[in-house]
Every structure is written in C-alpha cells, then in structure tokens.
C-alpha cells in the first residue's frame, strides 16, 4: 500500500481536530499504521475509527492515540520544552504494538506490557521489521506496572480499570505524568491525568472515552 498520502491526510485531520504538538504529529505521520492491522482492514487503517486487533481487543482511533500522547508530553518535567523527548515511558496494553511504535518517536525508551500472550507475540512480529531498539515488549500483568524500568517519565494505559493502580504512581518519576482511562463517577469511562510533583500526586479528570477493560493476571 502506498500509504504516505493517506497518512499525511490523517495528520492534517488530527491537526484540524486540535492536535497541536509537532512531536506528536510527526510521530503519527511516521508510523505506518496499516502494517499493524489485519490485511482485511488495511483500507480503514487511516480512518478515524478504532479497529479490531484480535482476541476481542481493539486499537484506538488515531485521534485518541494522538490526544493521549500529546497529554503525556505535557508532563511537568517537559513544560516549556516543545522540542524535547520524554525519558522512559511505560505503556500498559501493547495490543498490536502500534502505539508503542508511535511512542518510540517521542520517548527515549518504551516499556510496553501486555497480558495476552497471543497479542504480545503479534506485537513482536509486527514491530520486528521496524527494528526499534528502544522498544521493550513484556508479557505480564500491567496492573502492577514494571518495577525494573522505573522510574518512568510517563505511563500511558490503553485499557481502563476502576482506579489508577497505586503501583503506577509509585513507579512514576517526580515531574512525570500518567494518562489513563478510568471508570468515572457516572459509570462510564473518562481520561485521567495524574502529575507527580514534589507536593504529591495531582489528578485531573478529562473527557469521556471508551477503552477495553483493564484485567489482572496473564492469559
Ligand atoms: N496500545 C494498543 C491498544 C491495545 S488495546 C495498540 O496500539 O494496539 C488494550 C490492551 O490492553 C489489550 O490488548 C489488553 O489485552 C491489554 N490489557 C488489559 N489489561 C491489561 C493488564 N493488566 N496488563 C497488560 N495489558 C493489559
């Protein structure tokens, strides 16, 4: 698939929808999203839609991926540094590996953890041709984070639970930020941003979202 033109159009649409961070737009314009989805879905890869990736899971629509990474880059440690990369990032829910590839363009190191062996292996296969030396794929329960890579400059979750696990806050660096879907008071899901500062954790609840559930244990 000659994807450069369709991907450029996707980036234009993201900008029109309000994504303003040049680092995010550049990363979204670089990663070939169609290489991460089933061949039957390739023609939809650049549309603003979520897509099935197998085992009942989905890849978020481009707008949501871009929005969450833009929020992550707003971490206190990067405030006023529009050209800088984030340090180490932890992603909960590797899925097909697409978001991990995007993150590798804005962070120095990406640890991505998946609880389903089938998807962990699919992501490994999807990412192999990209030879991204800074992306580390792990099979495990992301609810407990990944202590060996801590502290993280950013933690981003692609699955939503009842609350943000304490382990994530513990593994976050001071100046770092968590962006995660979490159950809201009304029973739906909303994006939560948690900044870790010298004074403690500061939490903000943003727009409503729809993510697959965060589950414990591996399968
Ligand atoms: N970022 C992914 C989206 C994957 S969907 C992509 O770009 O494709 C969310 C993923 O989170 C699913 O694959 C699901 O299995 C995984 N997940 C849910 N709970 C988890 C947990 N506790 N630890 C790790 N992965 C989890």
Question: Which domains does the chain carry?
Answer: 3-213 (3.40.50.150)
pTM of the model: 0.98
Q: Closest Cα to atom 23, ligand 1: which residue?
A: 142
* CB-defined site of ligand 1, < 6 Å: 53, 57-59, 92-93, 95-96, 98-99, 113-116, 119, 141-143, 158-159, 212, 214-216
Question: Is the pLDDT assigned to residue 148 strictly greater than 80?
Answer: yes
Spatial distance between the Cα atoms of 65 and 60, rounded to a whole number of angstroms: 6
The per-residue pLDDT for 171 is: 98
- CA atoms of 39 and 177, how far apart (whole Å): 35
Q: Which pLDDT value is given to residue 25?
A: 98
pLDDT of residue 186: 86
Q: Measured between alpha carbons, how far is 33 from 110 in angstroms, rounded to an integer?
A: 18
Q: List, in sequence order, every residue forming a beta bridge with 204; answer none if it has no partner.
A: 193
Give residue 185's pLDDT: 84
Rounded Cα–Cα distance for residues 24 and 161 (Å): 26
Handedness of CA 68, 69, 72, 73 (dihedral sign): negative
pLDDT (mean) for 157-182: 98
pLDDT value of position 2: 78
The mean of the pLDDT values for the chain is 97
* Whether pLDDT at 194 is above 90: yes
Report whether pLDDT(1) > 70. Answer: no
Return all residues near 56 (Cβ < 8 A) that are at least 6 apart. 212
Give the pLDDT confidence score for residue 187 in this predicted structure: 86
For residue 70, the CA-to-ligand 1 centroid distance in Å is 19
Q: What does the pLDDT look like over 84-114, one tens digit per residue?
A: 999 999 999 999 999 999 999 999 999 999 9
Cα–Cα distances in angstroms (integers) from residue 3 to residues 25, 32, 34, 70, 165, in the given order: 16, 7, 8, 23, 38
pLDDT tens digits for range 5-33: 999 999 999 999 999 999 999 999 999 99
Segment 47-69 shows an average pLDDT of 97
């Amino acid at each position: 698939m000659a994807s450069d033109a369709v991907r450029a159009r996707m980036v234009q649409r993201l900008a029109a929808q309000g994504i303003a961070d040049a680092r995010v737009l550049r990363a979204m314009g670089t990663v070939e999203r169609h290489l991460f989805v089933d061949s039957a879905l390739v023609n939809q890869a650049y549309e603003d839609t979520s897509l099935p990736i197998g085992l009942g899971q989905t890849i978020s629509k481009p707008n949501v991926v871009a929005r969450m990474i833009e929020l992550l880059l707003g971490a206190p440690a990067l405030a006023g540094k529009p050209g800088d990369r984030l340090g180490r990032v932890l992603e909960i829910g590797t899925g097909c590996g697409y978001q991990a590839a995007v993150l590798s363009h804005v962070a120095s190191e990406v640890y991505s953890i998946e609880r389903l062996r089938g998807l962990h292996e699919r992501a490994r296969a999807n990412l192999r041709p990209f030879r991204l030396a800074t992306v580390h794929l792990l099979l495990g329960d992301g609810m407990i984070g990944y202590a060996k890579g801590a502290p993280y400059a950013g933690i981003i979750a692609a699955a939503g639970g009842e609350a943000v696990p304490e382990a994530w806050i513990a593994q976050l660096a001071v100046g770092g930020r968590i962006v995660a879907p979490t159950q809201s008071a009304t029973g739906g899901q909303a994006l939560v941003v948690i900044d870790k500062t010298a004074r403690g954790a500061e939490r903000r609840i943003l727009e409503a979202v729809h993510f697959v559930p965060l589950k414990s244990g591996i399968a």
